[in-house]
Amino acid sequence: MAKALMVQGTGSHVGKSVIVAALCRILKRRGVKVAPFKAQNMALNSFITPEGGEIGRAQAYQADAAGIPPSVLMNPVLLKANSDTGAQVIVRGKVVGNMGVRQYHAYKDEAFRAVEDCYRELSESFDVIVMEGAGSPAEINLKASDIVNMKAAKMAGAKVLIAADIDKGGVFASILGTMEILDPDERDMVAGFLINKFRGDASLLKDGLDFVLARTGKPVLGVIPHFTGIHLQEEDGVALDGHVDSGDGAIDIAVLRLGHISNFTDFDPFAAEPGVRLRYVRGVSDFGRPDLLIIPGTKNTVADLLELRGSGLERKTLEYLDRGGTVIGICGGYQMLGRGISDPHGVETDKGRVDGMGVLDVETTLYPDKVTTQVRAAFIADASLGELTGYEIHMGRTALGGGARPVFSVRSGPDGPHDDGAMNAEGSSWGTYLHGVFENDRLRRSILDSLRASRGLDAQVASTDYGVIKEEGLERLADLVEANIDMRTILSLV
């Protein structure tokens, strides 16, 4: 069995996912066979593994850091919230159903059996497993039924590092409060603490670090500085709350900030392009005059469509198209652009059928089973772009009418060769079920050069290699973390 090290946190969004990714890359560079693991993840950004299973995007990013293919074993349980009190439950990469809070609470014993099985299978192939917790292990109302923090650490025999975000304030109180609430045997599992997102001179923290050691008997093993300019892939929509528009480029790309937005990492490649500004639109007042508008994926297409309708953003989108704008819809956004969405099985709503925006001549029907597959495809309008890669995650099937033409020719996948997506007659709007398609450099450059041409701008001379940008980001992240933590002690734990 592999040795295990676990990163837990004093709360959500303190940097656990990023620290796990950094540790995976640091260990990989030392020749260690390492893999990430998160027993249960609640996130709307997901990824499809080579075996066709759905996991949290963070675990796919961490697998990249470890230099290995992502696997459903790395994230046995994925929860995708589709309401304030319910979520779609995915176990070993496949949907088992929608559950409310109480229903899932009753299901947790079965979910944890999947966690144990996946961890055992994963640990047989690696030297070290770097595990990630969720939220905080000290949530009093959740501790008894928690399967992702201390229970998972005990299962793996893992030593625990607790990360805290000093940028939120109250970092020492959050560390001490967490330790106070943990049971005595859980405190014994804690090897130390990591303080994340520090701005300034770390020597000024000495009194606080000494106090933590004296009070808990556990050291602070690192103070990681706040950083910008390193390319990361965020796990969940909370990251968008503090999103800063990328750049001030001549090309302005706007993404509608849907209430149940999912897989917004689809648009990271645009943010990495020089001369491109990527921003998220929350209301009519900040719609602006974009060169390209994107309607992203969503975990609840019908609810988000009705919200756009009520807020005036649907009307604004249609007016933008009438003025010559360009709109692309991805997955749920593609469905919204059609004539209508039918839900005869009650997958998302009891409304039966809801009118779409009517931009594309397509009709979508929602079904209980989910398509999850990696694909290879070609862009029908320009075969010279070569083979493209992407992945599908959707519960809808979309039929094209006579006024629409397909966008991609899918050449591989469990359904065999087929067409995907739809484009309107004018070519000003198209939609697709393919996620990750903008990571294909030639397609992305073709889109951007077309936008530049419409503005009378020259084509971009340098071609951005998004794969290189991701790899450089992981290397820089690992360098930063390794330089600011007690790596000798952490290595001794595994």
Q: Kindly compute the dihedral angle of the four CA atoms of residues 228, 234, 237, 242, in this order, to the nearest 10 degrees.
A: 0
Annotated catalytic residue 331: yes
- 15 & 163 share domain: yes
Alpha-carbon span 224 to 164, nearest angstrom: 10
Asked if residues 431 and 87 have their Cβ atoms less than 8 Å apart, the reply is no
What is the structure's pLDDT at 236? 62
Q: Is residue 46 part of a domain?
A: yes
- 398 & 293 share domain: yes
- 105 & 20 share domain: yes
| SS3 of residue 183 by DSSP | coil
- 209 & 279 share domain: no
Q: Sheet of 34-37: strands edge to edge?
A: 34-37, 128-132, 3-9, 159-165, 190-198, 220-225
- 397 & 319 share domain: yes
Catalytic residue among 24, 118, 394, 435: 435
- 84 & 212 share domain: yes
Q: Is residue 464 part of a domain?
A: no
Q: What's the one-letter identity of residue 2? A: A
pTM, two decimals, is 0.94
- 373 & 426 share domain: yes
Please name the residues in contact with 196: beta carbons below 8 A apart, sequence gap of 6 or more: 14, 15, 19, 163, 164, 165, 166, 167, 224
- 279 & 196 share domain: no
Q: What's the number of domains the chain is made of?
A: 2
Q: Is residue 241 part of a domain?
A: no
Is the Cα dihedral 332, 335, 340, 343 positive or negative?
A: negative
Question: What are the structure tokens assigned to 118, written together?
Answer: 């996946």
Question: What are the structure tokens assigned to 369, written together?
Answer: 């089973």
Alpha-carbon span 80 to 298, nearest angstrom: 10
Question: What are the structure tokens assigned to 32, written together?
Answer: 């260690």
Q: Is residue 386 part of a domain?
A: yes
- 182 & 301 share domain: no
- 132 & 272 share domain: no
What is the structure's pLDDT at 82? 85
What is the structure's pLDDT at 248? 65
CATH code where residue 223 lies: 3.40.50.300
What is the structure's pLDDT at 145? 93
Which residue range(s) make up the domain with 372? 251-456
Place of tokens 């066709």: 52
Q: Is residue 164 part of a domain?
A: yes
Catalytic residue among 24, 118, 260, 331: 331
Beta bridge partners of 392: 373, 434
Q: Is residue 245 part of a domain?
A: no
What is the pairing mode between strands 3-9 and 128-132?
Answer: parallel
**269-298 confidence digits (pLDDT tens):** 999 998 999 999 999 999 999 999 999 999
- 289 & 343 share domain: yes
- 302 & 409 share domain: yes
Q: Is residue 109 part of a domain?
A: yes
Phi, psi of 399 (to 5 degrees): -105, 135
What is the structure's pLDDT at 416? 81
Which parts of the chain sit beneath pLDDT 70? 235-248, 461-462
**C-alpha distances in Å from residue 381, one per residue of 91, 263, 444:** 38, 25, 14
Annotated catalytic residue 345: no
Q: Is residue 238 part of a domain?
A: no
CATH code where residue 293 lies: 3.40.50.880
